[in-house]
Amino acid sequence: MERHTTRRAVLAGVGVACLAGCVGRRRSGENATTATETAGREEQTTRGASPPTRGEHLPLPMDPVSLRDRAVSGGPPKDGIPSIDDPNFVSAEAESVRLNPGDPVFGVTTGNTTKAYPQSILVQHEICNDTIDDTPVSVTYCPLTGTAMGFERGDTTFGVSGRLINNNLIMYDRATEAWWPQVLATSIPGPWKEEPPTRSLQEFRVVWTTWERWTSKHPETEVLSRDTGHARNYDYDPYGSYDPRRGYYSLREPPMFPALFEDDRLQPKDIVIGARTPGGAVAFQKHRLSEEKLVESTLDETPVLAVYEPDLHTGYVYRNPEQRQYEYEDGQIRDADGDTHPPEDLPLTRILAFDAMWFAWYGFYPDTTLYA
């Protein structure tokens, strides 16, 4: 059933508050998953010292200055959580002694490269400034909102600002020092320089999956090494554990800070697969999509189709303006002509989508369409 929206904690433990950028005091579409799978690639981009940006910015829940005024301290100062700026990679075989089958990893695949970024490493850094197929990129992760996302960074790098909006990591780019809330992927004025124009980053798909699923599909993958240049205990997650799920990641635990907007149709930490364009946003409850396999909805009054991918337990969202009919069959998608396609490569325009906790998605996109 499709539903349309209406607007409507501190963790215990010294180690959490000391380390995590998402912790502090409680206060009131393209067809290939590549490092150049960017939202708005058809738009003219701005390059140079600042990060590459779209021609038209993504939606914001309020004006940029109001968003800045809602920012709260996560505890550590600017760069108190160090980004990984010189990453090293090892083989899957070398890393298999450290990762359990159910451990989360964030996967990126291109025509020439396949990489996995373990959650156990990025939870301690939140940003990895990397280069994939000669394209400078940043793979980013916010523990408090459960969002793993990728951005092109051009000639600069991203760092952790030490501030949060809607529980979400605020990145800053080291060329202009503008603030970039991760989920919004859109600049807002920071405190260190004059107000920048509102721009949205070029994005690429990062798949949230498990080590077992990723290596079964991509046994040749490279894996981000623990040799990061920083002294960190990568066997310790200050927030809890995904394997099994406990601590902050438990569905029973509330978000750390109040959300910008609240909605009770799902549990706050239910996982949705969300997609947004300059015209609007849509979200699909991940559990429901995994059951139904194919789900039709709308985004900015345009029909869209969400497709479940079972190997990685993820989903993809496509524009489907002609409302073409498809059937799900043994992990493949069959079209009206009888041809089959993998879920990640339908003959439709794919819209970038990613996993997020429901409270975070709705807090940023209170006008979202929800399928649950």
3-state SS, 33-96, equals CCCCCCCCCCCCCECCCCCCECCCCCCCCCCHHHHHHCCEECCCCCCCCCCECCCCEEEHHHHC
What integer is the mean pLDDT of 57-85?
95
- pLDDT 10s digits, 103-115: 999 999 988 899 9
Does pLDDT of 25 surpass 60? no
Structure confidence at residue 193 (pLDDT): 67
Find out whether 327 and 308 touch, Cβ atoms under 8 Å: no
Between 24 and 258, the more confident residue is 258
What integer is the mean pLDDT of 122-145?
98
Does pLDDT of 32 surpass 70? no
Structure confidence at residue 24 (pLDDT): 36
Structure confidence at residue 194 (pLDDT): 66
What integer is the mean pLDDT of 69-94?
96
Structure confidence at residue 14 (pLDDT): 29
- pLDDT 10s digits, 214-239: 999 999 999 999 999 999 999 999 99
Q: Round the CA-based radius of gyration of the chain to a whole number and report it.
A: 19
Structure confidence at residue 197 (pLDDT): 78
CA atoms within 13 A on the CB side of 96: 12
Burial class from Cβ neighbours inside 10 Å (0-12, 13-18, 19+) for residue 5 reads middle
Q: Which of 278, 277, 255, 280 is nearest to 266 (CA)?
A: 255
> What DSSP state is assigned to residue 10?
P
Share of the chain above pLDDT 70, in %: 86
Q: Which residues pair with 208 in a beta bridge?
A: 106
Q: Which of 212, 153, 148 is nearest to 182 (CA)?
A: 148
